[in-house]
C-alpha cells in the first residue's frame, strides 16, 4: 500500500468496516468558495469570500458510509484505513466496476474515491496524501487507467489538496445537486 510512517500506516480492510470508517468526522466550516469562471476558463483556484457555513457530508443519512451497501453493489469496492497504532485516524472508500454507480460511467477501467476523511486534529500531516497514494496503488493493481474524486466549490481546502496530489479538473456541474442547492459539483481526475 502507501508509504508507512513512523506514526501511522495504511491498511486495506473489508467493507464490513464502513461503520468504523464513518466515525471519523468529515465536516468543515466553509468560509469561501471557488470562482467557477476562473476555474473553468483559466484553471485557477481563486477564492471568493462567502458567509460562513458548516458542511457535514454525513448530515444526509443516505450518503453515510454505512448506507452505501444499501444503494450500490459494493463487491468491487475497497476500504483503505489509516491507523496510528490501533486508532483509526483516516480512510478512503474506492469504487470501481459498479454499474449502478453513475460516476463510474459504466466503465470498468475507472476508479472513484467515494469518501475520504482524516481526523480533523491530524489534517495537514500527510495522512490524506498517503491515502491518495494508496488509492492510486489500488486502482493501478485493479487495472484502472484513471482515478477520480468529487467535491464541491465550497470545499476549497479539498480542491487545493486534490490539485497538490496531481488531480486536474474534469468537470463542473452547477445543477448536479438539484434546484436551490447552492454548491457546484467538481469532478477531479488523475490519470494512472
DSSP string, 6-56: SS-EEEEE-GGGHHHHTTS--EEEEEEEE-HHHHHHH----EEEEEEEEEE
Judge whether 48 lies within some domain. no
The answer as to whether 51 is a domain residue is no
Range of the domain at 34: 9-40+56-191
Q: Say if residues 142 and 96 touch (Cβ distance below 8 Å).
A: yes
**Domain membership flag for residue 87:** yes
Domain-embedded: residue 167: yes
In a domain, 179, yes or no: yes
Question: pLDDT by residue (tens digit) across 89-145?
Answer: 999 999 999 999 999 999 999 999 999 999 999 999 999 999 999 999 999 999 999
Q: Give the count of alpha carbons within 13 A of 139, CB side only.
A: 28
pLDDT > 60? residue 48: yes
Matching residue, cell 470498468? 108
Tell me: the pLDDT tens digits for 148-185?
999 999 999 999 999 999 999 999 999 999 988 899 99
Least confident of 5-14, 33-42, 167-176: 5-14
| CATH number (domain holding residue 72) | 3.40.630.30
Question: In this structure, is residue 108 part of a structural domain?
Answer: yes
User: How many domains, the chain?
Assistant: 1
Contacts of residue 164, defined as CB under 8 A and 6 or more positions apart, other chains included, come to: 129
Position 182 in a domain = yes
Whether 49 is covered by a domain: the verdict is no
Amino acid at each position: 500500500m502507501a508509504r508507512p510512517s513512523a506514526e501511522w500506516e495504511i491498511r486495506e480492510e473489508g467493507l464490513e468496516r464502513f461503520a468504523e470508517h464513518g466515525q471519523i468526522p468529515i465536516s468543515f466550516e466553509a468560509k469561501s468558495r471557488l470562482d467557477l469562471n476562473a476555474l473553468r476558463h483559466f484553471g485557477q483556484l481563486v477564492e471568493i469570500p462567502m458567509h460562513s457555513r458548516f458542511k457535514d457530508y454525513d448530515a444526509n443519512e443516505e450518503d453515510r458510509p454505512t448506507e452505501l451497501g444499501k444503494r450500490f453493489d459494493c463487491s468491487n469496492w475497497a476500504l483503505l484505513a489509516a491507523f496510528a497504532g490501533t486508532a483509526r485516524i483516516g480512510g478512503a472508500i474506492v469504487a470501481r466496476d459498479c454499474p449502478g454507480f453513475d460516476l463510474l460511467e459504466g466503465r470498468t477501467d475507472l476508479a472513484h474515491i467515494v469518501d475520504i476523511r482524516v481526523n480533523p486534529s491530524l489534517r495537514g500531516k500527510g495522512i490524506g496524501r498517503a491515502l491518495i497514494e494508496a488509492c492510486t496503488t489500488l486502482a493501478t493493481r485493479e487495472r484502472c487507467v484513471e482515478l477520480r474524486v468529487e467535491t464541491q466549490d465550497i470545499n476549497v481546502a479539498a480542491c487545493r489538496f486534490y490539485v497538490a496530489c496531481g488531480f486536474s479538473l474534469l468537470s463542473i456541474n452547477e445543477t448536479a445537486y438539484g434546484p436551490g442547492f447552492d454548491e457546484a459539483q467538481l469532478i477531479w481526475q488523475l490519470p494512472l
